Structure 1
């Protein structure tokens, strides 16, 4: 997935003092697939190491069609893909091919440079039902010490991620630690990423262990300190304030955040770096074919934007 030239829409916080900023994602088209982009924004570029957040779908794809994001490059970041519905086949220039399904997580470290594609499988394109696709793709900016690390890909099955149940609250720890459970996904900086599914009336505490935190409300309605928020919102939380989230309906939201980055980051197309010069080099490298070819997907690619 690639950023557009337009920022999402932002608004002021509601009356709740726990909310620093509310972001209403802008809908954009990626390879014919609608996505809602919540990060980056003009008012908020990062939440912890998270510099990019896209909601994919939910979209019911016609029989014979699928997701087709052609090979494209990345530097200076890790992509994190997490699905609620559907299936995506990942291929990259390190030689990896892997399918991701609901509850799994793909972590791809771009480092000094990687190219990859994301497509639907032939089986998905030809099946008669179960054709819904939805999920989140986020980018995590790498610390300066690891911006030029070797590219690598890791897939973790849903069964490997901690799943906690407490009455009407269900929590999957995707990255980092929460409620005494720790994900096996290795990171380069302090990071938290967790999925919450709440039944009506259920409540969960969100502590202030991480300096920067935000909630992305995928669906349903939640209440925080008397204020009600609906789906399709990114709620940036104020540092240092623990909160309680209560579901007004069946609700699904994601907690993202972590430690502040070690300095500002520049982002252009699919490239993230602490150096503008490094991004210029990456642009030239892609334009002149100096990234590796994507294993099993060598014939197509997305050209460098004009």
Structure 2
């Protein structure tokens, strides 16, 4: 999905803590005109968690008939995008010819590599009714050796994502391996992405990872003397045996993986090389990216 704000780093309130929790990020909600976004990555205080370089919480939003999410064609390089919906539906189209509705629980993985163009709109039968939209927009940086791979697209329906019972409640292993199960979703480095719904008082021991963080999409958590409120991300050290406890009924997303070298990010472009981003900007400005099949007319201009 496009960086809808044109800015990469939005304002976050931060809390430095001790023990297992290194940092708590509390994003400030940005209104995009009937649609709110909370961005926790990247920020000045924390650029990445493992390979994850971009994390937006979109909505929840309620749209009248005729209104909704309508993201015109735009480009990406150097990343794989992950779209995940809690509610609603989104329509993905790209320059490879893919046409794919995304529904709650699905994993939509688009590999930009050396360059891809896509749009995210809504099917007419959705747009012409009162409807809602709520989900996460995440970007994975690709390893340096794979930043310029051929673009690709993978869609995994909700039924393909494994669920494992941990401490009496289900945990979905969206990407990577945890709690004895492995997701079928393609990864390019050591990557972790989990989702869980905890009742108040339930506890979860975090899986091991070099870097890891939890985002509280709903509810609240506590751990090691720290409170993690709703719509905040807690970044953890790699110490073993960390346990979080739900203070309310809570939905959480855990992301992590291996540490990455520095990445540059500007608008929708990510690379380990500044000059590669400049090239991508010039290519988009001059119409050298391929057009989205079935959505060839409109596009998002390169922002000033």
What range describes the TM-score normalised by the shorter chain of this pair? over 0.9
Q: 2:165 matched to 1:165?
A: yes
Show CA shifts across 1:148-200 (max 9, x none). Answer: 00000000001000012346522111100111111001111000001011112
Give the match's secondary structure for 1:201. Answer: coil
Residue 288 of structure 2 is aligned with which of 273, 287, 290? 290
Give the Cα–Cα distance (whole angstroms) in 1 for the partners of residues 31 and 289 of structure 2: 25
In the TM superposition, 1:94-109 aligns within 5 A as 94-109=96-111
What's the CA shift string for 1:2-22, capped at 9, x where partnerless? 1515433131234x5111111
Matches within 5 A, 1:1-306: 1-2=2-3, 3-4=6-7, 6-14=9-17, 17-29=19-31, 33-128=35-130, 131-166=131-166, 169-207=169-207, 209-261=208-260, 263-306=261-304
- Structure 1: runs of 5 or more not aligned: none
Deviations 1:68-92 (A, max 9, x none): 1111000000000111000000001
CA drift of 1:242 comes to 2.9
C-alpha spacing 1:95/1:257, structure 2 compared with 1 (3 Å):
same
Q: Is the Cα–Cα contact under 8 Å of residues 107 and 157 in structure 2 kept in the other structure?
A: yes
8 Å Cα contact 1:31/1:68 also seen in 2: no
**Structure 1 CA distance, aligned partners of 2:85 and 2:185?**
16
Secondary structure of 2:278's counterpart equals helix
Q: Secondary structure at the match of 2:16?
A: coil
Contact 1:30 1:69 in 2 (8 A): no
- The alignment's TM-score, normalised by the length of structure 1, stands at 0.94
Contact in 2 for aligned 1:24/1:232 (Cα 8 Å): yes
- Give the TM-score normalised by the residue count of structure 2: 0.95
How far 1:225 moved relative to its partner?
A: 2.4
* 226-235 vs 2-11, greater mean Cα deviation: 2-11
Deviation at 1:31, TM superposition (A): 7.5
CA distance in 2, matches of 1:273, 1:32: 32
Bigger mean CA offset, 174-183 vs 198-207: 198-207
Tell me how far 1:211 sits from its aligned partner.
0.4
Structure 1 residue ranges (4+ consecutive) displaced by more than 6 angstroms after TM superposition: none
Conserved 8 A contact 2:213-2:234? yes
The 8 Å contact of residues 86 and 104 in structure 2, kept in 1 or not, is answered as yes
SS state of the match for residue 12, structure 1? strand
Deviations 1:97-140 (A, max 9, x none): 10110100000000000011111221211234xx2211101000
In the alignment, the residues of structure 2 paired with residue 274 and residue 38 of structure 1 have an alpha-carbon distance, to the nearest angstrom, of 21
- For residue 247 of structure 1, report the CA deviation from its aligned partner: 1.1
Question: Number of paired residues?
Answer: 301
Please say if residues 200 and 247 of structure 1, whose CA atoms lie closer than 8 Å, have aligned partners that are also in contact: yes
Greater displacement, 35-44 / 220-229: 220-229
